[in-house]
Amino acid sequence: MFNLKDKVVVITGGESGIGLAVCTKFAAVGAKVVMGGIQADRGTEVAAQLTASGGQVVFVNTDVRDRHQVDALVDTAIDRFARIDVLINNAGVFDGFADVTETTEELWDQIMAINLKGAFLSSQAALKHMIPQGSGRIINVSSIGGQVGRADGAAYTASKFGLIGFTRQMAASLSHTGITFNTVCPGAIATDIRGNSASIIPSAAHLMTRGVGTTDPEALRKIIPAGRKGTTDEIAAAIIFLASDEASYVTGHDLTVDGGYLA
């Protein structure tokens, strides 16, 4: 439906979960994908698999907490493909539903560094190229936890609310440059964000066992009207739309994909 052939797409956190689904979809429609991720072995394997299937995918080991690594990710896109059309700030970690009394300073700092500062650093790096070229898409992956206070823990909620505010401010101040800025806000999605978060922030591993783990439709329907968790492909489809030319007049928007959780 959407023509993204030869578009140059940079994504953080691309080696698993939502990021992997996004990389797979973009590669399938002919985009050139530069995937950043903290899991080097996994990222290298995924890039090789997608390339073997006919895609153009490059993996760059990237910790979004480090400006130099983020700059290297964007520079790879420029060096290999001479431009950057889409930036997807997807790298993120979870806080295990820790409320403010349970949240350590270390947990708070790590959540903010990855979920919010990482998007700031990546956006700065990409805008150095997007503004002169007069076009681009920046899509930030937030959460329903960035729209209501009851969905997640204190640090995660604050970071995702912050990401929406950051996106809206960029849209208000820079949409005249030809770039659009939007967020996608997933609801409960079937991913391994808890396991990944525990590996990145070991001190919070004990928190990742808490929360809704059921897959029973009747139990889920009490929380999610659709009666199920969403899939990573459903989030990737929303991102594909926002990256497309068809979404050229959509900016400063929060696209919620939550099965009716906020209804």
pLDDT tens, the chain, 263 aa long = 688 999 999 999 999 999 999 999 999 999 999 999 999 999 999 999 999 999 999 999 999 999 999 999 999 999 999 999 999 999 999 998 999 999 999 999 999 999 999 999 999 999 999 999 999 999 999 999 999 998 899 999 999 999 999 999 999 999 999 999 999 999 999 887 767 786 777 666 776 665 655 567 777 788 899 999 999 999 999 999 999 999 999 999 999 999 999 99
CATH code for position 68: 3.40.50.720
Task: Give 32's strand partners.
Answer: 8, 56
Q: Residue 191 has what pLDDT? A: 84
pTM recorded for the entire structure? 0.94
What is the helix (H) or strand (E) element at residue 194, kind and residue range? helix 193-200
What's the chain's Rg over C-alpha atoms? 17
Task: Phi first, then psi: give them for residue 95, nearest 5 degrees.
Answer: -110, 10
Work out whether the CA dihedral 217, 219, 223, 229 comes out positive or negative.
negative
Q: Residues 50-53: contacts with CB within 8 Å, 24+ apart?
A: 50/23, 50/24, 53/27
Does some domain include residue 123? no
Q: What is the domain extent for residue 33?
A: 8-109+131-257
In a domain, 244, yes or no: yes
CA–CA gap between residue 112 and residue 121 (Å, rounded): 12
Closest C-alpha to 42, from 23, 65, 69, 64: 23
Model pLDDT, residue 138: 99
Task: Give the model's pLDDT for residue 218.
Answer: 77
Could you tell me if residue 55 is inside a domain?
yes
Residue 114 belongs to a domain: no
Helix residue ranges, H only, 13-153: 17-28, 40-52, 67-81, 105-112, 118-133
> What's the token pair of residue 34?
């530069």
Q: Which residues contact 4 (CB under 8 A, 6 or more apart)?
A: 26, 29, 30, 31, 240, 243, 244
Measured CA to CA, the distance from residue 25 to residue 42 in angstroms comes to: 18
Domain count, the chain: 1
Q: Give one word for 91, left, alpha or beta, with left for phi > 0 and alpha for psi -120 to 50.
A: beta
Q: Which two tokens stand for residue 169?
A: 């401010």
Structural domain includes residue 82: yes
Spatial separation of the C-alpha atoms in residues 16 and 10, rounded to whole Å = 15
In a domain, 120, yes or no: no
Q: For residue 208, what pLDDT is reported?
A: 61
| 120 and 165 Cβ atoms separated by less than 8 Å | no
Neighbouring C-beta atoms of residue 67, cutoff 10 Å: 15
Active-site position among 26, 94, 108, 156: 156
Q: Is residue 1 part of a domain?
A: no
Cβ burial, residue 228 (10 Å; 0-12/13-18/19+): middle
* Any domain includes 51: yes
The token pair at 166 is: 């950051």
156 tagged catalytic: yes
CA dihedral 159, 161, 165, 166 (to 10 degrees): 20
Say how many residues make up the chain. 263
Residue 133 is predicted with a pLDDT of 97
